[in-house]
Amino acid sequence: LKEVLARTRSLAELAGKIGTSKQAVARWDDVPLERLAEVSLAVGLPPSQVRPEYMRKIFELEARLTAAA
């Protein structure tokens, strides 16, 4: 979340860009998966930088699925 917030001036700005409230964003410990795409677009960072742990899990799953095929 630090990197995302570094790309915006405030929680309110980020909230406005993604159509939610400042209070909702303030409750996040990190960007929720369901908000990943819109936050990535709003701040100009790829999803892999916004939530790298999600991306690692996705790549691991894809590798296992490819190996099983």
**2-37 per-position pLDDT tens digit:** 889 999 999 999 999 999 999 999 999 999 999 999
Q: Between 32 and 1, whose confidence is greater?
A: 32
Answer whether 16's CB lies under 8 Å from 7's CB: no
Other Cβ atoms within 10 Å of 42 Cβ, number = 19
User: Nearest-CA neighbor of 44 among 10, 11, 4, 1?
Assistant: 4
pLDDT given at position 58: 85
pLDDT given at position 56: 85
Is pLDDT of 1 > 90? Answer: no
**pTM of the entire predicted model:** 0.79
Q: What are phi and psi of 14, to 5 degrees?
A: -60, -45
pLDDT given at position 59: 86
Residue 67 in tokens: 């190996």
